[in-house]
Amino acid sequence: MDSLCPSPGLALLQQLVVVLDNYSRRVMGVGVFKEQPSSQQIRVILGRAMTVAGATPGAIITDHDSRFTGKSFRRSCRRRRIEQRFGALGKFGSIAVIERFIRTLKREGMRRILVPYGPQRMRDEVNLFADWYNQHRPHTALDGMTPDEIYFGSKPASRRARYEPRPRWPRGSPSAGAQTKVRGRTGARLQLGVSFIADRRHLPIITLKRVA
């Protein structure tokens, strides 16, 4: 969980709950509340994420907040056969994957827009960011792949045959990054395309295509 402030200097906070797949970094579910959510509300969000995924996690990693250590939450985990794991108290990085996502959400999402006050509009913005994050944002920690590519096991865009704009570049010479083959002839003329999710200028979709 984390708190997001709509505007600097204002006391009104939006409380954010995020369910993240630890392996692929994929956002599986989000919840936005005006006040601290209850354990029941968190369990509902977790249940929805499991329904969408069609699977139950083997383990869940959280901090030591009372909403996760209370009897009702622990009982729910036991019923679903989910192992509970906790980050170390007062130790930064013990829940590093979710902490890294929250930092990215703040830096690349919420700080680039006028954050809405209402929970529903806020939820819409966070969901748009999550869609972009899952589908279009490559990650260094994932070797240049996106969370969706890892989660669904699809062939990463970074591993597909590449265009080579240098006309004299040897076709058999590997690229500096991923070792991919050249698509078509060398000396390709390329066009860079940029579109945006729901017209949000901070959520770009970059495409590259060959032109005559």
Q: Name the residue among 14, 17, 19, 51 with its Cα closest to residue 35.
A: 14
pLDDT band per the 50, 70, 90 thresholds, residue 195: very high
| Statement: residue 74 has pLDDT above 60 | yes
| Statement: residue 90 has pLDDT above 70 | no
| Statement: residue 138 has pLDDT above 50 | yes
Instruction: Identify the CATH class of 2-139.
Output: alpha beta
- At residue 4, the pLDDT reads 40
- At residue 12, the pLDDT reads 41
**For 181-198, what is the mean pLDDT?**
91
| Statement: residue 81 has pLDDT above 70 | yes
What DSSP string runs through 22-89? TTT--EEEEEEESSPPPHHHHHHHHHHHHHHHTS--SEEEE---HHHHSHHHHHHHHHTTPEEEEPPT
Average pLDDT, the chain: 86
How many Cα atoms occupy the beta-carbon half-sphere of 175 within 13 Å?
A: 17
Residues 10-29 have pLDDT tens digits of 334 578 899 999 999 999 99
Per-residue CA distances from 70 to 25, 42, 43, 65, 76 (Å): 27, 12, 12, 9, 10
Q: Where are the domains of the chain?
A: 2-139, 160-211
**For 176-183, what is the mean pLDDT?**
75
